Amino acid sequence: MFCFEEYPDLLPIRLRSHLSKLRLCSIKLAIETGRYGNNAIDRNRHFCSLCGLPEIEDVYHCVIVCPAYDHLRKMYLKHVYYVRPSVYKFVELTKSDSKLEILKLATYIVNAIQLRKLLLNKYCITTDCIFNSLLHMTVV
């Protein structure tokens, strides 16, 4: 059943748009960017380019799991969400009714997106380069 979400009324426009992107899974992570264009690859190969873990870079990974964002996670999220992480805890976080928790989550997302861009540019890692190298990998 559809219902009105309160988070749009709780946040300034800038943060609201980032939280909406999170909830709509429209943040430019490998899970999204790898599914279209000339460099489209199988879903199970959309790995995180920041942490090196063999995990798909999706919203859950970005917010709860990826070690590249540990310091941001500790600053903005309650430890209950990322210590022994689970999808259940992630959903609970994204559906929180707490204005402060939603504000901190949105701020986390803004900072995580900026950090991701910075790290990808710093190490000259582009999703095109990653996808091309994945496409040409040989499986041993």
Q: Is 50 within the bounds of a domain?
A: yes
Both tokens of residue 139? 């499986």
How many CB atoms sit inside 10 A of residue 97's CB?
9
> What is the rounded distance in angstroms from the CA atom of residue 116 to the CA atom of residue 29?
9
Q: Is 100 within the bounds of a domain?
A: yes
Q: Is 23 within the bounds of a domain?
A: yes
Across 3-7, 37-41, 124-128, 133-137, the highest mean pLDDT is recorded for: 37-41
Q: Is 41 within the bounds of a domain?
A: yes
Q: In terms of residue numbers, what domain contains 73?
A: 15-135
Q: Is 2 within the bounds of a domain?
A: no
Instruction: Kindly report the pTM of this predicted structure.
Output: 0.74
R_g over Cα of the chain: 16
Displacement of CA 117 from its chain's centroid (Å)? 12
Please give the span between the terminal C-alpha atoms of the chain, in angstroms, as a whole number.
48
What is the tally of structural domains in the chain?
A: 1
Q: Is 9 within the bounds of a domain?
A: no
Q: Is 64 within the bounds of a domain?
A: yes
Q: Is 1 within the bounds of a domain?
A: no
Model pLDDT for residues 84-128, shown as the tens digit of each residue: 999 999 999 988 888 899 889 889 988 998 898 888 887 654 445
Query: In this structure, what DSSP letter does residue 139 have?
Result: P
- Band (3; pLDDT cuts 50, 70, 90): low
Q: Is the pLDDT of residue 139 over 60?
A: no
